[in-house]
Amino acid sequence: MRTPRLLWIAIPVLAVLLWTVVFPSVNVIVGSFGAGLADWRAFASNPSDRDATWATLVVSVWSVITAMLIGVPLAFALTRIEFAGRRLLSAVAVLPAALPPLVGVLAFLFLYGESGVFTRSVQQLFGLAEPPWTLTGLPAVIFVHAYTMYVYVYLFVAAGLERYDYALDEAAAGLGASRAMVLRRVTLPMLTPALAGAALLVFMSALGSFSAPYVFGGGRRVLATQILASKLNGAEGLAYVETTVLAIAAVLALLLFRWLEGRRQYTAVGKGRAPRVAIRSAAWRRAAPVLATTLVLVLILPHLMVALVAFARDGAWTTQILPPEYTLDNFRRLATQSELWRPITNSVSMALIATLANLVVCFLAAYLIVLTKVPGRRLMQLLVILPWAIPATAIALGLAATFNRNDPLTGRVLLVGTFWILPLAYFVRNIPIVAGAVEASLRQMDPSVQDAARGLGASWWLTVRRIVLPAARPGLIAGGMLAAVAAVGEFVASIVLSTHSNRPISMEILSQLRDFAFGTAAAYSLLLILLVLAITASARWAEGRWLSQ
């Protein structure tokens, strides 16, 4: 297709990305200098901001360390060793990823909080007058992050091990290297891309994390919660400075991890991954099923806890270890009371709108980036990945600073306080997910197929419909699924941008927690988990139907 015609597609796509991704970020940076350097000086001299900045870095680094300590050994155990219970453990090892952020935090509150089931059980078992711990402060936040984020490490390392050439280990062992030396000098270096990618994902997720610090932070704040506090206190200039600092930290972290990942390149060719080895020790063979079962219970306990409390009667659970009364009233109220049902319809409709917008815009962007040489595609490639480097709090505040009034000459439209601001936030946040998935699919397509179709007289639309779209379909399905899952349970942007009329499920869960309606909050949470599973199942069905055609 000729470049002038492609420009009619590229220009609107670039305009949308510049308007929704770059423009809000620029407004935040400009707003941070609205009072000159006064707000920057206030940030530098404010002990709370310094403490929040330091706490953010501490939480992010320790989240990476703890996620690595859990995810790496688990990946090695499930991919290299054959033992009873391995398949079950492999199936549930990714369950924490199915918990929306706020729901995961809620499950930990019910389990390990000061009045949680596990906490009270330990207190009663040892006859303690006070709870044995209080799940507050930075250690509590890191503990929650370790459970929810080790999945990234596990998936990355497991994928790396599936492609790993075990002949290298055999060669090193044949030269006299011990197992520890083989692991340190051969295996782990060969897994550097997987480890760096996982560490980057955990670090960036922890850097912008809001739910766990908001609920368990106690008196300690991170930058994400400090931004909200400044905004609620009317210090918008200071909030802009904090947002800019958080975004700069995220971009610097991205550049650092990319540099570390690119320092050395590893390429392996050979026989492929090693077969799983059986456990030789009789004692370990007997212990392995017990350990696997215990770990499975630990992993599914948060999900079971949410389901249990969802059927508990509000107000009846006080000092008991488990809820004493169970009922269907929590779900009955959700179905019959319009005020309680509205957040459900809001979340589903906003997630659907945002995901459809992601699919259209990201497909066009990926098509232009991968299969054309249209001017501006390099800029477009940068823009579609930029929201991943900007924490969700910064994105939300940027949208609030941009779409707060009608001023067409400056590209502003009043969306704050309306239904549409949240779908826009979800759309921006999920651009990298969908664009990355579609790009990956299109890069597997031979560009000459498209050229052949055009040479045979097919129109651009027919070529896209019959060749490009089928090639992009796996990425569209996977990216759309991930975007919908993220949108339906989104909390960070919602707490900054939502109002009572457009509140999603996550905000209603928080409202019910504040009213001590734990059963209703858990019922919402269970419904959110079911929505996530339904979206995942629908995507799998669509993928299977496509493969069968």
pLDDT attached to residue 270: 47
Strand partners, 262: none
pLDDT attached to residue 176: 67
**So where are the chain's domains?**
1-25+327-549, 55-226+284-310
372 token code pair: 């054309």
Check: pTM over 0.75? Answer yes or no. yes
CATH node for 55-226+284-310: 1.10.3720.10
Which superfamily does 1-25+327-549 belong to? Answer: MetI-like (1.10.3720.10)
pLDDT attached to residue 17: 93
**pLDDT by 10s per residue, the chain, length 549:** 455 677 788 899 999 999 999 999 898 999 899 888 999 999 999 899 999 999 999 999 999 999 999 988 888 888 877 777 778 888 788 888 777 888 888 888 888 888 888 888 998 888 888 888 888 899 999 999 998 898 888 888 887 777 666 666 667 666 666 667 766 666 677 777 778 878 888 998 899 888 899 888 888 889 989 998 888 888 889 999 998 998 888 888 888 877 776 665 555 544 555 566 666 667 777 777 788 788 888 888 888 888 899 998 887 787 788 888 888 999 998 889 889 999 999 999 999 999 999 999 999 999 888 888 888 888 998 899 888 888 888 899 899 989 988 888 888 899 998 999 999 999 999 998 898 888 888 877 766 676 676 666 667 677 777 777 888 888 888 888 889 988 998 988 898 899 888 999 999 998 988 888 888 999 999 998 889 888 888 877 876 666 555
The two domains 1-25+327-549 and 55-226+284-310 share their CATH topology (first three levels equal): yes
Owner of token pair 């488990």: 322
152 token code pair: 């990234």
Whole-angstrom distance, CA of residue 534 vs CA of residue 442: 27
Whole-angstrom distance, CA of residue 365 vs CA of residue 198: 26
pLDDT attached to residue 350: 96
DSSP-assigned letters across all residues of 467-531: IIHHHHHHHHHHHHHHHHHHHHT--HHHHHH--STT--HHHHHHHHHHTT-HHHHHHHHHHHHHH
Is the CB of residue 277 less than 8 Å from the CB of residue 291? no
Whole-angstrom distance, CA of residue 412 vs CA of residue 16: 13
- The number of angstroms, rounded, from the C-alpha of 142 to the middle of its chain's C-alpha atoms is 16
Contacts of 54 (CB under 8 A, 6+ apart): none
pLDDT attached to residue 446: 66
Whole-angstrom distance, CA of residue 517 vs CA of residue 313: 9
pLDDT attached to residue 263: 61
Whole-angstrom distance, CA of residue 437 vs CA of residue 212: 28
For residue 396, give the nearest of 413, 409, 415 by alpha carbon: 415
For residue 201, give the nearest of 433, 358, 359, 478 by alpha carbon: 433
Is the CB of residue 105 less than 8 Å from the CB of residue 305? no
Give the Cα-Cα-Cα angle 36, 40, 45 (nearest 5 degrees). Answer: 135
Whole-angstrom distance, CA of residue 111 vs CA of residue 99: 15
415 token code pair: 């969306």
